[in-house]
Structure 1
């Protein structure tokens, strides 16, 4: 396609020599933009999630400047604009509650403004899916630039992982093996540079998913935030997006069914977060690609986890980058015939296999050979049964192998507050074989489906040396967390799912190998309990106003990606009518 065949969206605003063109150009010129910049140059939006309240993204002003330089060098006109920055570390009740809100902000900002293409500056967990969802709804050329992981945490002369260290040290305090002072002394050393969590948490996972989907340049996922090569990548991405405009390389040409299957396989190989299941489903829904929960089993099953990173393994994102990063992992998969679609197109115009076929692998402890994996099968386990008719998930690479097939009696917590009060009770009837069950923490119930599924264990069991138990909830868990944790149970308790009627003492059977999650009570009793629950349930009055009402009324269940029902589908980037 020649440049003369490409019709720029921005020309609808800046092209006409009439009253409207006069006004659009004139007001933009108050920023010192000369007239020729509006004539035939692609306008490139730099969609920035910078915020000091999102510490993972607090360095994005500098990142945006490097993108800007690349856009200018390639002959584009860069325009930076802010969108809602939903940072996981500070935002309450959870950043998942505002992921869809941020995606709406992105979508309408792109559609309503004179933008031909967009560079998505992402980092903290939900910013990556939110920006991709919004851009996919418009189907414009787009490229992802991630802020990068922070440097390795340091404590007592050893490396510690952001997020993962919190869960580990907190349990040690409860078990009495370290003091509160020792716990607090790790605080400053855990997050010692700009960037996202340095474990294979959700931020790193989604950065890898963006690269595996082909919507970023190679190595985007792993370059540390403070490494100069991160800024080089930002510059090169700014250059590349201009060419993507002239090539009409829109997201629908990258976010294909084949790309999502590659990402599912990559997630298993890296030991990625269970949150990727929800986010990829939501992104696929926006671009119109059919993606189902069972695809995670069908495509991912049998994929070894070869990346030895916390929380599943030993190392951190710095070592991952130095070892070769995601290109090395994809090469390893491709050479073994485990990359489903090596011909899938990527943002630089090459196939994903062309990008990685010669990728070096520098450290085979960090990126292991296929015959010496961290886990022989690292695919996300999709579970179904009478306790999860629409499905649930578990991350085997972060679980205790002996607990992947388990039968135990339920210890039930009706909500998070009940859990916090009851778990510390020294008289709690619980042992190592018990199954901890947490209700009403799903999309509607929390609301927002907070990362509380990795319930801390009862202190009295921690003191006995117990380090893991089967835990089940309709919540999520941080990608930095670990344990034999069943998550995303659907339908959730607050939607009247079977989880709502589990009682203390009920026997629960988990079989990850068979994909089974079963509440061992007669079907007639289960239906009677559900009928009683529905009769007694009354909507929470707090949900009837503001954004919370919109969220609770329209959020889909976890198996459908927790998007809003009215946002599913691609609406395109048709230029809205002007008002002048």
Structure 2
């Protein structure tokens, strides 16, 4: 049963028989909507990140139309509004630089307009966490609808992912094992449809975690972008948004500490992207959940890999969908979840789980017969990463997870690009490649530079992996023994800035250690000589200047320090802003 008009947030705009009410209703009627269409109905905002420069999200117009049908069928009134959109391939220098900007856009749009609930449409990597961050801070009832994985590409008769397979082919070209003619054929085949990366890259990982957090309907994450069932679930999400509006079920009710545990467990079970760590930390900060890096390490110690999907496995997300989707994955790890956690369905995780296991155990395994044992992710600390760094063990070379070798240091990406293929570079298979000035402040924006390329002279010798360390991120589609998110970053005075060529670096992922074997006295001397650039020297104007000045480090999610926590709750919005004469006439 719908609440009385006075029980809706939008009633503050439209119910009053005063000048503000007149102006607000008049504005709606000027758009062609009669009072019958919107007055007294739950108003559902459709937050659309559609963009022609973001191929992952280009089908969102049709999805928004489907959401609209669901809202109308359930008795609500839909109003679509745009936000900025972040496209991983085309946006420079990195979408991560603009995640917080999009989160601000989403938050302020939700707070400022008369929405009783919101449907969030996101797909490409950073659009999903940005929308969740904004919705979490606004704390108006919200449900997420992700865009779905693209159709698999086919090259040389084999299904390929957008990134995971591409990295292998790039190395083949650099090593002389693949011709440029074949490389051009690969380019033509690589993007056969709209939708996000079809392997378990960051986009698919975040879509998965939205289900883990309980912020979408069960089964929505893995539905292929071009499958008609994606539009069907869009209708269902629109209808459910009306229910959320009438029930008052908000993100703060759903995204609890237990929900974050469930999401992390799911991330580990699917072999998800390390980028999700940064995003989950940021989202948790917005709802006031004290989530720390160590929690990822603790849950990794008990959670095996049960999904056989690239880059940690062999299949693509479409096969996960046909095997039962994310509900089947959650059923497989049911014993590791908090079953009483509430979801946007109004029911608990346990209520939403399927009654049967996955239909294809070659894709989704049982908990007692996983594809890889626990500890697929490690948080490492030491004198090189006092506040922590992460390594995705499930996508690394097992023999390199415990390793010592001499450092080959690159000052920044420009230095790396100038020297990594130099035949005179002093590097061997045992070397540890180190990149600094690639973190949140130093790059700026913490780009996906963490999968440092193997020098071509080593590729020609058959070397396919090395230990690589940076304060950067790595694409969720990537793989290799890469230590990422070193905190604090070098540009913030972190010890990564003290490393010199030839220093012995010691990694023990199993023991959670990352150290440079340099005496404390020598490090003290180097520290007195180290002068990181101040923020204003990195960026002097505009949004980027604000970013480098106020961004938190990776271990705190790279959010802005002034955005941690939610804004005023909807019920606490001051009535004074709706009273009196309205300016602008």
Residues in 2 aligned to 1:105 and 1:83: alpha-carbon distance in whole angstroms = 6
SS in 2 for 1:92: coil
- For residues 212 and 456 of structure 1, do their structure 2 counterparts lie closer, same or farther at Cα, with a shift above 3 Å needed? same
Residues in 2 aligned to 1:494 and 1:226: alpha-carbon distance in whole angstroms = 43
Residue correspondence of structure 1 range 361-510 to structure 2 within 5 A: 361-510=358-507
Residues in 1 aligned to 2:376 and 2:138: alpha-carbon distance in whole angstroms = 31
Residue correspondence of structure 1 range 65-144 to structure 2 within 5 A: 65-144=65-144
- For residues 26 and 487 of structure 1, do their structure 2 counterparts lie closer, same or farther at Cα, with a shift above 3 Å needed? same
SS in 2 for 1:261: helix
> In the alignment, which residue of structure 1 is the partner of 2:510?
513
Residues in 1 aligned to 2:297 and 2:457: alpha-carbon distance in whole angstroms = 37
> In the alignment, which residue of structure 1 is the partner of 2:333?
333
Work out whether residues 536 and 545 of structure 2, in 8 Å CA contact, stay in contact via their aligned partners in 1: no
**What is the deviation of 1:372?**
3.3
SS in 1 for 2:240: helix
**What is the deviation of 1:360?**
4.3
1:541 to 531, 537, 540: 537
Work out whether residues 271 and 378 of structure 1, in 8 Å CA contact, stay in contact via their aligned partners in 2: no
Work out whether residues 535 and 545 of structure 2, in 8 Å CA contact, stay in contact via their aligned partners in 1: no
**What is the deviation of 1:267?**
0.6
> In the alignment, which residue of structure 1 is the partner of 2:322?
322
> In the alignment, which residue of structure 2 is the partner of 1:284?
284
SS in 2 for 1:245: helix
SS in 2 for 1:197: coil
Residues in 1 aligned to 2:65 and 2:356: alpha-carbon distance in whole angstroms = 29
CA offsets 1:215-243 (integer angstroms, 9 cap, x no match): 00011110000001100000000000101
Q: With the length of structure 1 as denominator, give the TM-score of the two structures.
A: 0.97
SS in 2 for 1:544: coil
**What is the deviation of 1:17?**
1.4
Residues in 2 aligned to 1:410 and 1:119: alpha-carbon distance in whole angstroms = 48
Residues in 1 aligned to 2:168 and 2:272: alpha-carbon distance in whole angstroms = 19
**What is the deviation of 1:530?**
1.5
> In the alignment, which residue of structure 2 is the partner of 1:556?
552
> In the alignment, which residue of structure 2 is the partner of 1:568?
564
**What is the deviation of 1:377?**
1.6
Residue correspondence of structure 1 range 236-315 to structure 2 within 5 A: 236-315=236-315
SS in 2 for 1:428: coil
Residues in 1 aligned to 2:534 and 2:36: alpha-carbon distance in whole angstroms = 62
Determine whether 1:195 maps to 2:195.
Answer: yes
Work out whether residues 146 and 207 of structure 1, in 8 Å CA contact, stay in contact via their aligned partners in 2: yes
SS in 1 for 2:530: helix
Where does structure 2 lack aligned partners over 5 or more consecutive residues?
none
Residue range with higher mean Cα deviation, 444-453 or 291-300: 291-300
**What is the deviation of 1:378?**
4.6
Residues in 1 aligned to 2:28 and 2:39: alpha-carbon distance in whole angstroms = 13
SS in 2 for 1:412: strand
> In the alignment, which residue of structure 1 is the partner of 2:217?
217
Work out whether residues 297 and 379 of structure 1, in 8 Å CA contact, stay in contact via their aligned partners in 2: no
Work out whether residues 107 and 135 of structure 1, in 8 Å CA contact, stay in contact via their aligned partners in 2: yes
Work out whether residues 490 and 559 of structure 1, in 8 Å CA contact, stay in contact via their aligned partners in 2: yes
> In the alignment, which residue of structure 1 is the partner of 2:519?
522
SS in 2 for 1:3: coil
Residues in 1 aligned to 2:536 and 2:399: alpha-carbon distance in whole angstroms = 40
**What is the deviation of 1:19?**
1.2
> In the alignment, which residue of structure 1 is the partner of 2:148?
148
Work out whether residues 535 and 548 of structure 2, in 8 Å CA contact, stay in contact via their aligned partners in 1: no
Work out whether residues 489 and 496 of structure 2, in 8 Å CA contact, stay in contact via their aligned partners in 1: yes
Q: With the length of structure 2 as denominator, give the TM-score of the two structures.
A: 0.96
CA offsets 1:7-35 (integer angstroms, 9 cap, x no match): 21111111111111111111111222111
Work out whether residues 124 and 203 of structure 2, in 8 Å CA contact, stay in contact via their aligned partners in 1: yes
Work out whether residues 111 and 575 of structure 1, in 8 Å CA contact, stay in contact via their aligned partners in 2: no
Residues in 2 aligned to 1:366 and 1:398: alpha-carbon distance in whole angstroms = 17
**What is the deviation of 1:315?**
0.5
Number of residue pairs aligned between Structure 1 and Structure 2: 576
SS in 2 for 1:490: coil
SS in 1 for 2:166: helix
Residues in 2 aligned to 1:446 and 1:277: alpha-carbon distance in whole angstroms = 19
Residue range with higher mean Cα deviation, 504-513 or 299-308: 299-308
Determine whether 1:13 maps to 2:13.
Answer: yes
**What is the deviation of 1:38?**
3.1
Work out whether residues 444 and 552 of structure 1, in 8 Å CA contact, stay in contact via their aligned partners in 2: yes
Where does structure 1 lack aligned partners over 5 or more consecutive residues?
none
**What is the deviation of 1:168?**
1.0
CA offsets 1:371-400 (integer angstroms, 9 cap, x no match): 432220254210100000000001111111
Residues in 2 aligned to 1:186 and 1:57: alpha-carbon distance in whole angstroms = 22
CA offsets 1:451-472 (integer angstroms, 9 cap, x no match): 0100110000000111100000
> In the alignment, which residue of structure 2 is the partner of 1:60?
60
**What is the deviation of 1:84?**
0.8
Work out whether residues 319 and 363 of structure 2, in 8 Å CA contact, stay in contact via their aligned partners in 1: yes
Residues in 2 aligned to 1:437 and 1:524: alpha-carbon distance in whole angstroms = 22
SS in 2 for 1:263: helix
Work out whether residues 15 and 38 of structure 1, in 8 Å CA contact, stay in contact via their aligned partners in 2: no
Residues in 1 aligned to 2:494 and 2:286: alpha-carbon distance in whole angstroms = 26
SS in 2 for 1:282: helix
Residues in 2 aligned to 1:11 and 1:422: alpha-carbon distance in whole angstroms = 63
Residues in 1 aligned to 2:521 and 2:538: alpha-carbon distance in whole angstroms = 34
SS in 2 for 1:392: strand
Residues in 1 aligned to 2:538 and 2:448: alpha-carbon distance in whole angstroms = 21
SS in 1 for 2:425: coil
Residue range with higher mean Cα deviation, 448-457 or 359-368: 359-368
- For residues 498 and 136 of structure 1, do their structure 2 counterparts lie closer, same or farther at Cα, with a shift above 3 Å needed? same
